[in-house]
Amino acid sequence: MDDERNVKLVIEYDGTNYHGWQIQKNLDTIQGNLEKAVLSLTGENVKIIGAGRTDSGVHAKGQVANFRISKTLKTIQIVGGLNFYLPDDIVVKSAEFVSSSFHSRYSARKRIYHYHICRERTAIRRYFCWQVYKNFSLKLLNQMAKMLEGNHDFSAFSRLIVNSQHKRCIVFESRWFEREDECVFRIVANRFLHGMVRTIVGTMMDFAYGKHNIENFCDIFYGKNRVKAGSAAPAHGLILEEVIY
């Protein structure tokens, strides 16, 4: 409709208590809560489109979504109103009106994820990192991370069946860094496959413990065989940091 306006949101959420982003029947999801909040605020049933469909238990600092409304509201009213109706673990950080052609998923150029590993036991951050007490090699992790940069087929690190025509992704940055008692994996790409980051981390950690040599990692990656890769790392260590347009 000509009188509809396209609204872009930046959203932060703690995914601990949710069955992922995507709305599912009889399950509590981020998208479901946002759509209910928009209905309560505007009286309009909308379809909210997210830039990334985060899995159950995954968090976000900079998830982006868009939807269309007919009701006349200022952006400050949208932010305040949605936050009034949303639970405390979902927060709308900002809202702006964008062109009708903007699509939070298809207009995105890059997505940035961080995966957090804590080297020691923690109570406060236990839902936001994978607690690993074994010794592992950061140098080896970065050798593997560097291999992922570029345009590659990531079949080895995705679910066998994905809702996508192909499994190629362009990785612009892939590296590990230390911060206090944490090791953080930063990966920036044009797109991500279902379960991709967590499977990459889980597989890398198997090698970082010294179970295999790095040549075996090459065989898994370039062999495109998911069965040979490791188990996915726990969801609660993963955060969608930012979406770039």
**Positions marked active-site:** 55
Angle at 130 between CA 115 and CA 32, to 5 degrees: 70
Angstrom CA distances, 180 to 140, 154, 173, 183, 238, stand at 19, 31, 22, 8, 18
Dist. CA 79–CA 9, nearest whole Å:
9
- Write 116-122 long-range contacts (CB < 8 A, 24+): 116/182, 116/183, 116/184, 116/237, 116/238, 116/239, 117/182, 117/183, 117/184, 117/185, 117/201, 117/205, 117/237, 118/181, 118/182, 119/181, 119/182, 119/183, 120/181, 122/181
DSSP code of 23? -
